Amino acid sequence: MFLNRPLLHCAKRLHRMLIGAERMCMPAPTIEQFLEAVTTTVLANERWVPPSDKGSLHIRPLRFGNGPVLSVTPAPEFTFLIYVTPVGSYFEGGLKPINLVVENVIHSATPGRVGGIKAIGNYAGIMKAQAEAKTSGFSDFLYLDSVHNRYVEEVSTANVFVVKDNTISTPALGGTILTGITRKSIIEIAQSQGFKVEERLVSVAELIDADEVFCSGNAVCVMPVGNISFMERREEYERVDLWCLSSSTLH
């Protein structure tokens, strides 16, 4: 995130970390501490940065509680660290369109809990559905809201965008999906190019009827969706106009 994107994105990620820290009763580093930690770690691992056409250096900040306490209560001590690793494409096949399956039994988050922050527990709950999706030959799965079980929320580790004509729709931020930094950048890019962007409830029916679908995230960046399976139906998407625009601009 530091090497091939504006430094401003580091500040945006720290802001998101501050929100998550407050929700989880954890202290957080200052912007100066955060940037120094990122810069120092990246420079110390400069030899591991892959060529830009081969991959990138993934940067991951972590905070966790530690100390002599066993009860369900905020920890007395906390550790903040940065680790980096060279990565290629998040999905096998590089930038080839991925295939998704809609999961309508397992849900990632419920209103009022921690689905809107980057908490590790949010990922633990979706591992079974993700493993089953990959065993069945899918790249990943897309889950629905836990209240109505009919509105699109996210791919397991990415935000999702649905395109119809000149309108781009993406699930609204309501506390159950992550406030994606790449998501926000895509919205700004699309609006600057004259597209209408709607942040709202997006139904499965709209997903199936879309002209184009793509997803975004820190590790995923921007990835086109080739097809989506739901129940007994499989919908193919051939258009990749918005994915191409977003991907080329972000890089």
The rounded mean pLDDT for the chain is 87
> Tokens at residue 104, please?
């309508």
Confidence (pTM): 0.87
CB atoms within 10 A of CB 244: 14
Q: Are 224 and 95 in contact (CB under 8 A)?
A: yes
**Percent of the chain beyond pLDDT 90?**
59
Burial (CB count <10 Å: 0-12, 13-18, 19+), residue 200: exposed
- In terms of pLDDT, which residue wins out, 240 or 10? 10
Closest CA to 217 of 172, 243, 184, 180: 180
What's the rounded Cα separation, in Å, for the pair 186 and 54? 23
- The H or E element that residue 102 is part of is strand 98-103
pLDDT band at 8 (very low <50, low <70, confident <90, very high): low
Mean pLDDT of 80-87: 93
Catalytic site residue from 12, 54, 96, 118:
118
Please give the Cα distance from 176 to 108 (Å, whole number).
Answer: 8
Across residues 219-235, what is the average pLDDT? Answer: 90
Give all domains of the chain, ordered by start, each with its CATH number: 8-87 (3.30.470.10), 98-250 (3.20.10.10)
Q: Cα separation of 133 and 21, whole Å?
A: 32
Closest CA to 162 of 151, 176, 175: 151
pLDDT 10s digits, 48-64 = 999 877 888 889 999 99
pLDDT, average across residues 14-24: 91
Give, to the nearest 10 degrees, the angle between helix 31-44 and helix 8-23.
120
Q: Is 164 a catalytic residue?
A: no
